């Protein structure tokens, strides 16, 4: 295996950029060589905090640098596609934060560029897929451990204030953020719902701005009905107008059992054989990673270091990453499908971009 230092740059040094920097520093053989942000002072701070030698305000300058092999894109949603495509064309591996893009055209542009540069790794961030409990529940469902899947639902209740939206001019604007609670906060749990159930066929949705008045033009509350590829039905409920700072839940019901997760931990397993259900609950809780100390906010979960390690390993091993760009795009397709359904008043059939993930 080629273990020469992998030279990495971070584009976007504000909210999530420091989490990427701290995670890369946990991976042997990685050198952080560039920090880039339109506000150069933010890039300079990240560089000072993590010993990064070069700072830039212009991503084009950074992408021309010879001491750069890969980039993490941690900017606003509207810039993701442009930066990812430019990085791939410049011969750089790409790890892009959610949402991979805020528009279907952006998703398509990234996937075309990735297909044109198959020698490069291109991945989208969905770090919760790397948490052990989520992988175990997904494997349980895929193996038929809950019988035929009947229903699956996701619920996110959190709080984003008017001040939060005013702090960054791109937030709460369709043309810039592409939405609000669904595409920003809830998208991680929609990703788990879609991934753990083996994909979504179609969606019908509603959304509203109930408490943020004229501060945002996008949604703060949304609901949707989901049709999964395996024939099961599901629901989505999300709001960023709750008094709860952060509360997530996932529910999976099959013909032979059920599993419920609350705030990233397994809360309940229900099987016809009660003793078997208790053993399964203990087994799933043995893989609980919620107590692991990780960089970033608590609700980021424990997955960023693991996903970044996988990204680096995929580059070194010349393989696909665990979260491919196409798989990350399918989750954005689900979000955008809810928005299209609301605008059209019709059920929306979603693209099927990938085979079921490994």
Q: SS3 string of 325-358? A: HHHHHHHHHHHHHHHHHHHHCCCEECCCCCCCCC
Domain with residue 275: its CATH number is 3.30.360.10
Q: Is residue 258 part of a domain?
A: yes
| 358 band by pLDDT with thresholds 50, 70 and 90 | very low
Q: Is residue 355 part of a domain?
A: no
Place of tokens 């309940």: 268
Gap between the Cα atoms of 12 and 206, Å rounded: 32
Q: Is residue 312 part of a domain?
A: no
Domain with residue 10: its CATH number is 3.40.50.720
DSSP 5: P
Q: Are residues 120 and 158 in the same domain?
A: no
Q: Is residue 354 part of a domain?
A: no
Q: Are residues 92 and 118 in the same domain?
A: yes
Per-residue model confidence (pLDDT) at position 286? 83
Per-residue model confidence (pLDDT) at position 156? 98
CA proximity to 174, closest of 207, 126, 211, 223: 207
Of 127, 144, 172, which closes a domain?
127
Average of pLDDT values for 101-123? 98
Q: Are residues 117 and 136 in the same domain?
A: no
Q: Are residues 114 and 136 in the same domain?
A: no
| 283 band by pLDDT with thresholds 50, 70 and 90 | confident
Positive or negative torsion for Cα 295, 14, 335, 109: negative
Q: Are residues 115 and 152 in the same domain?
A: no
Per-residue model confidence (pLDDT) at position 13? 97
Q: Are residues 97 and 186 in the same domain?
A: no
Per-residue model confidence (pLDDT) at position 347? 98
Q: Are residues 123 and 135 in the same domain?
A: no
Average of pLDDT values for 85-104? 98
Q: Are residues 115 and 139 in the same domain?
A: no
The model's pLDDT over 243-271, given as tens digits with 9 standing for 90+, comes to 988 999 999 999 999 999 999 999 999 99
Of 127, 143, 162, which closes a domain?
127
Q: Are residues 85 and 153 in the same domain?
A: no
Q: Is residue 303 part of a domain?
A: no
- For the beta sheet containing 30-36, the strands, ordered from the edge strand earlier in sequence to the opposite edge, are 54-56, 30-36, 6-11, 70-73, 93-96, 122-124
Of 112, 127, 142, which closes a domain?
127
What share of the chain in percent tops pLDDT 90? 87
Q: Is residue 167 part of a domain?
A: yes
Q: Are residues 149 and 91 in the same domain?
A: no
Positive or negative torsion for Cα 54, 60, 65, 66: positive
Q: Is residue 308 part of a domain?
A: no
* pLDDT exceeds cutoff 50 at 356: no
Q: Are residues 136 and 235 in the same domain?
A: yes
Q: Are residues 205 and 340 in the same domain?
A: yes
Q: Which domain holds residue 26?
A: 6-127
CA dihedral of residues 193, 197, 202, 205 (deg, nearest 10): -20
Gap between the Cα atoms of 93 and 276, Å rounded: 45
Domain count, the chain: 2
Q: Is the peptide bond before 99 cis (omega within 30 degrees of 0)?
A: yes
Gap between the Cα atoms of 54 and 35, Å rounded: 6
Place of tokens 């491919």: 324
End-to-end CA separation in angstroms for the chain: 23
Q: Is residue 314 part of a domain?
A: no
């Amino acid at each position: 295996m080629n273990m020469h230092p992998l030279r990495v740059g971070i584009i976007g040094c504000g909210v999530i950029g420091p989490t990427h920097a701290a995670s890369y520093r946990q991976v042997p053989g990685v050198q952080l060589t560039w920090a880039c942000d339109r506000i150069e002072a933010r890039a300079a701070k990240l560089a000072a905090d993590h010993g990064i030698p070069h700072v830039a305000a212009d991503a084009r300058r950074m992408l021309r640098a010879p001491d750069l092999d890969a980039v993490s894109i941690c900017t606003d949603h509207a810039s993701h596609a442009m930066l990812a495509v430019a990085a791939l064309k410049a011969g750089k591996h790409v790890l892009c934060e959610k949402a991979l893009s805020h528009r279907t055209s952006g998703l398509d542009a990234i996937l075309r560029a990735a297909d044109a540069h198959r020698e490069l790794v291109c991945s989208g961030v969905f770090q919760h897929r790397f948490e052990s409990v989520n992988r175990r529940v997904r494997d349980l469902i895929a193996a038929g451990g809950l019988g035929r899947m009947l229903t699956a639902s996701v619920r996110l209740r959190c709080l984003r204030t008017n001040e939060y939206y005013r702090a960054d001019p791109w937030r709460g604007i369709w043309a810039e953020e592409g939405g609000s609670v669904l595409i920003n906060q809830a998208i991680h749990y929609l990703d788990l719902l879609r991934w753990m159930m083996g994909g979504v066929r179609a969606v019908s949705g509603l959304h509203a701005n109930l408490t943020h008045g004229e501060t945002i033009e996008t949604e703060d509350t949304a609901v949707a009905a989901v049709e999964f590829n395996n024939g099961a039905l599901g629901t989505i409920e999300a709001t960023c107008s709750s008094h709860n700072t952060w509360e997530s839940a996932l529910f999976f019901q099959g013909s032979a059992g059920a599993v419920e997760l609350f705030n990233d931990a397994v809360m309940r397993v229900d099987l016809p054989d009660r003793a078997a259900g208790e053993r399964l609950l203990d087994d799933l809780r043995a893989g609980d990673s919620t107590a692991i100390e990780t960089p970033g906010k608590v609700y980021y979960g424990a997955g960023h270091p693991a996903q970044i390690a996988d990204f680096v390993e995929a580059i070194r091993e010349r393989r696909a990453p665990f979260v491919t760009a196409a798989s990350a795009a399918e989750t954005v397709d689900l979000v955008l499908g809810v928005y299209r359904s609301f605008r059209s008043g019709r059920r929306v059939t979603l693209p099927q971009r990938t085979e079921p993930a490994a």
